[in-house]
Amino acid sequence: MASIRTRKGSSFLFIDFTYMNTRCREKTNLTDTPANRKKLAKILERMEAEILLGSFSYEQYFPKSDKVDYFEELGERRQNLQSGAPLFGEFVWQWFNERCIEWRATYQEKLRIVINKYLIPVFDKRAISRIDRADVLAFRASLAKVTHKTTKHTQSATRINSIMATLYMILKEVSKRYNFDNPCEDIKQLKTPKSLYRYTYYS
């Protein structure tokens, strides 16, 4: 059962509760007064209700906690267990090993660079079936802000399209295997100097 307490030698309140079968202790900046205990009790009551309903967000209540990443990854894994789909980082190399026989060595190396430099840092621990259109568009937008170390120039539209094409191929394959919509579907390529029209990634 959740409780409100203070640590020995401290006048600040902390919350002791259980989430996802894990005991959590989070400190607050509230001193131990009757008014603050009452205030914190209301917050704790709301938290317990959200945990029961499955709508609780650890990051929303404790954005600076070192447990935020832990519960985010745990939540992704639980979602994947329900869908049967793997994490992105698990599937991407399975996909690569299955398909590399079709590619030349130079193209294999090109894809390894894209996967390791751009895709893994963003999507590695994500439940692959939960990556949605908004995630894909946000990722593409982030690529436009990446600069080269030497020239400080941003990524070209051609380079961004190449990275996105790799992501599309991966999500297209996994969506077929686990029966969910490909979030890259109908997202247009960026217009390049040689292109007078836009088209979907490997549509």
pLDDT tens over the chain, length 203 residues = 789 999 888 899 999 999 988 999 999 999 999 999 999 999 999 999 999 888 899 999 999 998 998 888 787 777 666 666 788 999 999 999 999 999 999 999 999 999 999 999 999 988 888 899 999 999 999 998 887 766 677 889 999 999 999 999 999 999 999 888 899 988 989 888 765 444 455 44
Q: How many CB atoms lie within 10 A of CB 100?
A: 14
Beta bridge pairs of residue 129: none
Closest CA to 190 of 162, 163, 157: 157
The reported pTM is 0.60
Are the beta carbons of 174 and 91 closer than 8 angstroms? yes
85-178 fold: DNA polymerase; domain 1 (1.10.150)
Tokens found for residue 41: 């009790």
Helices then strands, counting H and E runs in the chain, come out as 8, 3
Are the beta carbons of 86 and 126 closer than 8 angstroms? no
